[in-house]
Amino acid sequence: MNQQDKRWALVTGASSGLGADFARQLAAQGYSLLLVARSLAPMRKLADTLIAQHGVAVEVLPQDLAAPGAAQALKERIDALGLPVELLVNNAGFGVHGAFHQQPLDRLQGMLQLNIVALTELTRLFAADMAARGHGQILLVASVGAYQATPTYAAYCASKAYVLLLGEALHEELKPHGVQVTVLSPGVTATHFFDVSGQQPTPYQRMVIMQSKTVVRRALSALAARRAAVVPGLLNALTVFGNRFVPRAWQRRLAYRLMRND
């Protein structure tokens, strides 16, 4: 089989956490992989393991997706390789925790550039190819925080609300073109997320934490079932569902209480 005939999945944020588990589970399903993040070494190591275990092809493409123009540059690199992306997993992202008015502006800008701008541009660029071919799949990683205002993660959760609404809209819009879009909204998951966000997990977060591989398994099942959105974990799903019956002021005050470290 030549390279073009393989089923290629592009996973952003593949150097750790959910992205690395997406890579592992997709390789087990027979996907060949394009791995993207900034850190080369962990992706190279993961690639070697997956090639040995599953006999799939893996390309490692280090790229800082928070740099303006990065999505277009990445698309050009993949086009130059001549590889058709059948599945795009838009997973790279991070949060900034703490008092909004004290968060460093450059961290906020980088977060919005990665969580919103790069994700939108990659989705737009690869959706066009998929629609032209008449098939493809896109998974967008949001968060349970997308479903409600969350003090101490104000801008992060607002960025994930954008991802959720974008994905739900595209689920309908791209369906007639043969492109399946699913939004994954994980709750607290054991990854490097908290090291990066700077938050000490609260007792509530430690109680509800899920394993990354479980979250990824649920996400890939939802994608296969052509669902618009999935919230893995019973407690997370109940929280999101219960929000429908709770005034928004109560939602955000409760979220504040559960998220603050002091």
Ligand X SMILES: NC(=O)c1ccc[n+]([C@@H]2O[C@H](COP(=O)([O-])OP(=O)(O)OC[C@H]3O[C@@H](n4cnc5c(N)ncnc54)[C@H](OP(=O)(O)O)[C@@H]3O)[C@@H](O)[C@H]2O)c1
Rg (alpha carbons) of the chain, rounded to whole number: 18
**Residue among 250, 39, 17 at smallest CA distance from 143:** 17
Q: Considering only the stretches 14-22, 76-84, 129-137, 253-261, report the one whose residues sit in contact with ligand X under the rule CB under 6 A.
A: 14-22
Distance CA 53, CA 64 (A): 28
Work out the angle at residue 49's Cα, subtended by the Cα atoms of residues 143 and 42, and round it to the nearest 5 degrees.
55
| Residue 164 sits in the site that holds ligand X (CB under 6 A) | no
Measure Cα distances from 102 to 74, 112, 116, 156, 173 in Å: 33, 16, 21, 14, 39
Q: Which of residues 192-211 bind ligand X (CB under 6 A)?
A: 192-193, 196
**How many CB atoms are closer than 10 A to CB 74?**
22
Q: Considering only the stretches 8-16, 44-52, 74-82, 249-257, report the one whose residues sit in contact with ligand X under the rule CB under 6 A.
A: 8-16
| Phi/psi at 121 (5° precision) | -65, -45
88 touches 74 (CB < 8 A): no
| Residue 123 sits in the site that holds ligand X (CB under 6 A) | no
| Residue 141 sits in the site that holds ligand X (CB under 6 A) | yes
Lookup result for tokens 């939108």: 120
Q: Considering only the stretches 60-68, 75-83, 127-135, 170-178, report the one whose residues sit in contact with ligand X under the rule CB under 6 A.
A: 60-68
Q: What share of the chain is helix, strand, coil (3-state, %, to 5)?
A: 55, 15, 30
Size of the site for ligand X (CB under 6 A): 28
Nearest residue (CB) to ligand X, 115 versus 180? 115
Nearest residue (CB) to ligand X, 64 versus 168? 64
Q: Considering only the stretches 23-31, 166-174, 191-199, 228-236, report the one whose residues sit in contact with ligand X under the rule CB under 6 A.
A: 191-199
Contact with ligand X (CB under 6 A): which of 10, 17, 182, 232? Answer: 17
List, by residue number, the catalytic residues.
156, 160
Nearest residue (CB) to ligand X, 3 versus 39? 39
| Residue 19 sits in the site that holds ligand X (CB under 6 A) | yes
Interaction site with ligand X (CB under 6 A): 13-19, 37-39, 64-66, 91-95, 114, 141, 143, 186, 188-189, 191-193, 196
